[in-house]
Amino acid sequence: MPKILFIGDVVAEPGRRTLATVLPQLRDEHEPDFVVVNGENAAGGMGINPKTADEIFELGVDAITLGNHTYRHREIYSYLDGGKPIIRCANQHESNPGRGHVIVENGVGLRLGVINLIGQFGLDHEGNPWDCADRILRQIEKDCDLILVDMHAELTSEKVTTGWYLDGRRPSSAPTRTCRPPTPAYCQVEPPTSPTSE
């Protein structure tokens, strides 16, 4: 069974340094097919910039997801439209720089679709994340072997709801942005869906 290593939320220089230190060990131990990192706070603890994004990609990361601090540093705007596998939240306004999903392929031809969503409570969003997920899934599911959804939300309940909403479908749901991850007892869903948390 393919493995995805999802790491979130890399915060500032200590987080980037830790990622550089532990990622080789995690690769050796778990042999993931893909590595996805939430990097929305990689630059100075809030936002991301091209330098910190490149630093993360140089570690062999396949894709970077973001969150509500995506646009903190203006220099990231053109970078998000530059074709690298770094994605903003899909249910932010479509005129914003960047895109909300990406498909990456590993060395053996396995294709991973990554979707980034943002919750509705207390965060800037444009539209329902679940309607957005449906639209993107219809668009990419035939082109992917695996799909990962990063649900970036304040409320545990929005993350749990996302897991339930995607239950029985192909995505794995990876909630980010919380000090209190969803309790596993509330996240019981049927394969092939598998909710995880940072």
Q: What is the DSSP letter of 143?
A: G
Tokens of 79: 């970078």
Whether 101 is catalytic? no
Rounded Cα distance, 81 and 146, in Å: 24
Rounded Cα distance, 139 and 62, in Å: 21
Q: Would you give the distance in Å from CA 196 to the centre of its chain? A: 12
Say which of 69, 73, 125, 152 is annotated catalytic: 69
Rounded Cα distance, 188 and 113, in Å: 23
**Beta-carbon-side half-sphere exposure of residue 129 (alpha carbons within 13 Å):** 29
Nearest to 82 by CA among 106, 55, 50: 50
Rounded Cα distance, 102 and 3, in Å: 18
Other C-beta atoms closer than 10 Å to the C-beta of 62 total 20
Catalytic residue set: 69
